[in-house]
A and B are shown apart, each in its own frame.
Chain A
Amino acid sequence: MEKPSALVRIAKVVAIAIIVTLMLYPFAYVILASLTPPGETLRFGLIPSDWTLDAYRSVLAGRIIPRALMVSVGITVVGTVLSVGFTTMLAFGLTRTKDIPGSKGVLYVVLFTMLFGAGLIPNFILVKELGLLNSYWSLILPGLISAFNMLVVRNFFMQIPAELTDSARIDGASDRQVFVRIMLPLSKAVIAVIALFYAVGYWNAFFNALIYIQDTSKWPIQLVLNTYAVQGSPISSIENPNAAGSVTPHAIQMAIVVLATLPILCVYPFAQRFFTKGVLTGAIKG
């Protein structure tokens, strides 16, 4: 295609600059604010002349934030492992609807849940009746398998050539061996994507924790973040009286925001290449 005119090129560069600034400015501001010592003020992206990690030291020396981070890490790790395991198992179980009687019915049972959800209150009552209130399992079990993720994996499994599994079966491999030795190793990309989806979901879980976990000592990081950084409960009361004066409450709030965002920022670049190319678009295109 012909080269665009100079005017169009300039307009595109300006548009890119605006888009990138709008997306990244809040991150930059929050990170800079968390590093700003008392007495310095950040105005409109002005970089402070001095910076300090005191806010992070203060937050991490306290009790509440490290504990909430540990709770979230635990839920994320355990939840992601279980979710990926049960999702891939179900997806594999539903790949051969012709020779596995009943599996097509199960597929419809799953698909219907995408069309009609039960609603907030019945779900809450169920979790309560199961005795899961105030249990970390209330943050994992109700969302153990996402129908969408299951379909993405199943699509992927079904695109794996049948010859590969057939020859293994002729050699006497059981369905379990076919699953573990052939399907899973060939599906690393799709597993990486759904693992990311699940992990992000568990890490970000807010509402489930709000209604199911009444014991504040069991709160995951999102609830703590909401209390101190969004609703603005006074921060000094929670932590480290020694640090008072050397850091501003605002820097502490911003440090909590950064700590809650950090795991996502760390994992994201590694997983990102999978969904721009390949897996997800492949699944979307069917």
Chain B
Amino acid sequence: MSEPSSLQGQAHAEPAEARAVLGQDPATPPVPSAEAGAKQPAPFLRRLANAIHHHPWMYAFILPGLAFFVLFHYVPLLGNVIAFQDYSPYLGVIGSRWVGLQNFAAIFRDPEIINAITNTLIISFLQLVFAFPAPIALAIFLNSLLSERIKRWIQTVVYLPHFLSWVIVIALWQQVLGGAGSLANGLSLLGIENVNLMSDPSFFKVLVVLQVIWKDVGWGTIIFFAAISTISAELYESAAVDGAGSWRRIWHVTLPGLLPVTVMLLILQLGNVLTVGFEQLLLQQPAVGAGAAQVIDTFVYYRGIAGGDWGVSTAVGLIKGVVGTVLVLGANRLAKRLGTDGLF
């Protein structure tokens, strides 16, 4: 939830403001060298040397951060070349044999990956339908409470699970829904034995979505609260004067007010269609089996890091990254064409 909200934030503002937020003057093109060529007579390198001389600390502050992003984000990006190799850890990236598109061809002959993709898409779809709207509903409900104190107290409670690790969340859920948990104990009093919802493959996808809702529904409301607070009170008042009851006010004032934020989050969600809770799934796979719980990310992990099939698993990861980026860009385009601000 935290990652999306950043992009969200810039997008929520008017486009010009959004660029100002990024520190980008609307008039100047983004690339520094182009800027130098177009407007200032001094070449970029001389201006750079001059600025380093006058502002050594600014560059000292930037340098470690830049080094971090290059080393831990861009070098691995290049590392994706092993998707085109028969990579062996002993030979390294330089020494391994190039195999062209062989790894990509192997993916589509693999029944396991088909299973992983199917599971991923089903879980993604369920999350889009059930987990995505849940924070909107909760935010509208909490907003309808008149007591600020109760509202804040409930917020404290519902934000909390967001900060727990998946290990803890699953440990907690096991105690409630697992084979020795409260639900099973309660049902056994009624004579129903051996209920274990945590290891039931047919219930698993529903379980995953319920867990996501439990963990993040509260945290997800933050952004909608921010959006609700920007809706002008006059709109509500004039709607009330026109005789609209509270449901009609939600329908005609609140929901339209939440639309821009919702579109943003939907775009981001689309970019994550192939990413479903990695740790959440990985932790529960031993209990329910790969048939129900294998998704693309866990496939990459089991094939690559655990199984040593580096080339194929990297190829899967690369395709996933490209598809995700294309989906975000495509959804953003579509949102703009439909008349909303889009994301960037």
Residues of A within 8 A of B (CB): 1-2, 4, 12, 15-16, 19-20, 22-27, 29-30, 33, 41-45, 86-87, 89-90, 92-111, 113-126, 128-129, 141-142, 144-145, 147-148, 150-152, 154-155, 158, 174-176, 179, 197, 200, 203-207, 211, 222, 225-226, 229-231, 250, 253-254, 257, 260-261, 264-265, 268-269, 272, 275-276, 280-281, 283-286
Partner of A108, one of B30, B159, B218, B304: B30
Instruction: State the majority secondary structure of interface residues on A.
Output: helix
A43 touches B186 (CB 8 A): yes
B69 touches A26 (CB 8 A): no
Q: Is B89 an interface residue (CB 8 A)?
A: yes
Contact status of A23 and B297, CB under 8 A, knowing A93-B62, A145-B69, A179-B57 = no
CA distance A230 to B36 in the complex (A): 58
The range of chain B's interface size is: 35 or more
Beyond the given pairs A104-B32, A118-B77, A120-B317, 5 more chain A to chain B contacts, judged by CB atoms under 8 angstroms and listed by A's residue number, are A110-B65, A115-B328, A116-B77, A207-B278, A226-B283
Contacts of B175 in A (CB 8 A): 26, 29-30, 33, 254
A106 touches B12 (CB 8 A): no
Rank and list the top 5 A-B pairs by shortest CB-CB distance, nearest first.
A90-B65, A122-B79, A119-B317, A204-B165, A118-B76
Residues of B within 8 A of A (CB): 2-3, 5-10, 12-13, 17-18, 21-25, 30-32, 35-36, 44, 47-48, 51, 55-62, 64-66, 68-80, 82, 89, 92-93, 138, 141, 144-145, 150, 152, 154-161, 163-168, 170-176, 180, 182, 185-186, 189, 214, 218, 222-223, 225-226, 229-230, 236, 240, 246, 278-279, 282-283, 286, 297, 300-301, 304-305, 310, 313-314, 317-318, 320-321, 324-325, 328
Partner of A175, one of B7, B58, B186, B328: B58
CA distance A106 to B119 in the complex (A): 38
Contact status of A23 and B157, CB under 8 A, knowing A121-B314, A285-B230 = yes
A268 touches B160 (CB 8 A): yes
CA distance A257 to B313 in the complex (A): 33
Contacts of A231 in B (CB 8 A): 286
A232 to chain B, nearest CB (A): 9
19 A–B contact pairs at CB < 8 A?
A: A15-B141, A16-B145, A19-B138, A23-B214, A41-B185, A89-B64, A114-B6, A116-B77, A119-B318, A120-B301, A121-B314, A122-B76, A122-B78, A147-B69, A151-B6, A155-B21, A276-B155, A285-B13, A286-B21
Contacts of A120 in B (CB 8 A): 297, 300-301, 304-305, 313, 317
